[in-house]
Structure 1
Amino acid sequence: MEDAFFSFISQFGYLAVFGLIFFENVFPPIPSELILPLSGFLVIQTSMELPLVIVSATIGSVVGAFVLYGIGRLLSQDRLESFFDTRPMRLLGFHSGDVAKAIGWFDRRGQITVLLCRCIPVVRSLISIPAGTAKMNVVRFTLYTLIGSAVWNTVLCSLGYAAGGAWETVTAQVEGFSDIVKVVIIVIAVIVIAFWVVKRIIPAMRENKSQQQ
């Protein structure tokens, strides 16, 4: 994969950086932890300039984020409420009112997470979906995404440039940080699921069983 990215960026320059980061935002498994330090290093090897590499990556980030934001807009509140009001979802402890509560929380306190999450591996792309579902103001979404993405891209591209031939060390360190984030997310998910089972699913199953008797 590294050789393919190396050749692609070397041949197409800024356009390649834009395209790869765009797809990284739409398909998170594509690693920005690899693309950005490599792009910074290739400034030394090619005619590219570091500021323009950062700008290209940031534009790709914003455009890619809007794809997921659009998907979030398609998942309207009405559609989600109808889905959560189905029998299978009720058996899992969900209620249509949960959607309104989640969107209300995002409107009041969650919008700043769009900015913060742009600097956190794994969730940096996915945060655009709830922003779209909550119909976050487009100008604010663009501004938060732009600032957060610019910080992330500037740091990784600059580190790759500064490291030179040792740019892979930067990638390894950032991937290590990403692994820690993944573990934290998994632990939180397990705790949330356990809490949900106790507080929602078990009572819902008991209620359903009593109604059938």
Structure 2
Amino acid sequence: MDNLARWREEAGGAIGAAIDLSELLADYARTLGPDHPDSLAARRRVACFRGEAGDAAGAVAAVSELLTDYARVLGPDHLDTLNVWWSLGCWRGEAGDAVGAVAAYIEQLAGYRRVLGPDHSRTLVARHNLAYCRGRAGDVAGAIAAFTELLADRERMFGPDHPDVFFTRHNLARLRGQGGDVVGAVAAFSELLADRERVLGSNHHHTLYTRHTLTHWQKEAGAR
């Protein structure tokens, strides 16, 4: 049944996948109990398929209930529990609740810092997700500040030419433009383009995308 659900998902049938997994979930609850890790994992996937089928609000409700059960069964600082916070943030954002999404990502990040430490890769990704979500919620200044701090830490840990560093620089440059600093965005994307051409080559898809984005902000600067 689990394979059938995955195949249906890959074929674009999120609703059918959710139905298949709901049947599997009932079997897990009956044979393993509702608090078994496999039962909890199946519930998370059912919630995900609901969201992918267009029911973001239903996914939020299901994940919220699931988060309570994960915290009760595994504890609030278990990695699986913290990962559910990410799911909640994701579906809150899809449902249009950007502020609620930020709150969920804050909870996940705090947990990762407690459990994994500030320099763990998952912690850094959580910081990235939170900064990005703040930008989507309209807090451009907060997002810029968060990405600036994250950039410094990623450069310290990985060096200036790491893909994650380039990715962070891209998001920071984009937010500068969205925040009204079009000239700063053009300068930042120009520097990023030069570095990506040097490291990746002129025809790499990341380089091409950076060149395309730079052209966009150059046009914005010319129109002002």
**What TM-score comes out, normalization by structure 1 length?**
0.24
Q: Which has the higher contact order (CA 8 A, sep 6+)?
A: 1
**What TM-score comes out, normalization by structure 2 length?**
0.23
